Amino acid sequence: MGDQPEILVDDRGPARWIVLNRPVARNAQNEAMLRRLATALEETETDTAVRVVVLAANGPSFSAGHDVKEVVRNERYRANLATVEGRLWQELDLFVRPVELLARLRMPTVCRVQGHCVAAALMLVGAADLVVAADDARFASRVTRDMGAADVELPLLPWLVGERVAKRLLWTSDELDAYEAQRLGLVSWVVPEDDLDRKVDDVVQRLLEVPQEALALSKLSLRFMEEERGRERAFKYHFLAHQLSHHTADAAELLRRRLEDTGR
């Protein structure tokens, strides 16, 4: 990638495209990408000229989730994993904060998904209001199997698809194709890959036809409904369970093996 930034921001009239830009790494989310994403979302939050946000990604895959190589390349990142408090504050800052910023934007958000959408990438998809997926999109999380953790930091996937499907995906490392993801409510539209941008543009135009404040207030109302159903309390409980799961003997052994494998 050379000097290319990990996040690109492209204003197309009143629609702001925020683009993950590590295609060679399948848009694995390293610290630099996550910090740039949080900054882009913070700047968008207060920009009244932005009417719609599109979250997209360059390359064949939307995102491979968090970059597991960061633990080898980033000494500070690795040191924080050594203590309970270090991991907790690091994950709140790096992993939870960008997702919450995306979810709390006043304007509608559209996620454009192609190829693999794995693990932490599902948090971004789950935080968006609408999702347009290419027919080659695949959704999966193997964090519980491969890391010994209680899935990713925020359980947006279980909240959206339900307990039984979540158990199937998280415990057996199964995956959803684009059409099953649509049937379960994780995806709004599925189109051929060549039509992906055309469909996203169509959705953006339809959103721009709706009065700006009406959309913002509708989004507030719908979010309140989810909060009344217990979403925020469930997420807080899960985050602490996730933190505890990182400190089991099994998780520690899997981390040791990953460090050995990644460092080779």
pLDDT in tens, 64-75: 999 999 999 999
pLDDT in tens, 182-230: 999 999 999 999 999 999 999 999 999 999 999 999 999 999 999 999 9
pLDDT of residue 259: 80
Q: How far apart are CA 76 and CA 94, in angstroms?
A: 13
What is the side-by-side order of every strand in the sheet holding 189-191?
7-12, 15-20, 52-57, 109-113, 130-134, 189-191
157 inside domain: yes
The single-letter code of the amino acid at 188 is S
201 inside domain: no
Q: Tell me, what DSSP letter sits at residue 93? A: I
pLDDT of residue 1: 47
If pLDDT is split at 50, 70 and 90, which confidence band does 2 have? low
Q: What angle do CA 65, 22, 64 make, to 5 degrees?
A: 20
Inter-residue contact 101 to 40 (CB < 8 Å): no
31 inside domain: yes
Mean pLDDT over 49-58 rounds to 98
pLDDT in tens, 93-134: 999 999 999 999 999 999 999 999 999 999 999 999 999 999
pLDDT of residue 3: 75
252 inside domain: yes
pLDDT in tens, 224-263: 999 999 999 999 999 999 999 999 999 999 988 888 876 6
pLDDT of residue 264: 56
Q: How far apart are CA 114 and CA 190, in angstroms?
A: 10
Stretch among 1-15, 32-46, 91-105, 229-243 having the lowest mean pLDDT: 1-15
**Residue 152 belongs to domain spanning:** 7-194+211-263
How many domains, in total, are found in the chain? 1
199 inside domain: no
218 inside domain: yes
DSSP β-bridge partners for residue 118 = 140
Inter-residue contact 23 to 62 (CB < 8 Å): no
DSSP string, 114-171: -SEEETTHHHHHHHSSEEEEETT-EEE--HHHHH-SSSSSS-HHHHHH-HHHHHHHHH
Smallest CA-to-CA distance from 112 within 187, 166, 38, 214 is with 187
Smallest CA-to-CA distance from 162 within 148, 183, 142 is with 183
CATH code at position 49 = 3.90.226.10
Secondary structure class of 17 (helix, strand, coil): strand
16 inside domain: yes
Q: What per-residue string of b and e applies to 4-33 under the rule 16 or more CB within 10 Å gives b?
A: eebbbeeeeeebbbbbbbbeebbbbbbbeb
Token pair of 107 as six digits: 């304007």
pTM: 0.96
Inter-residue contact 6 to 30 (CB < 8 Å): yes
2 inside domain: no
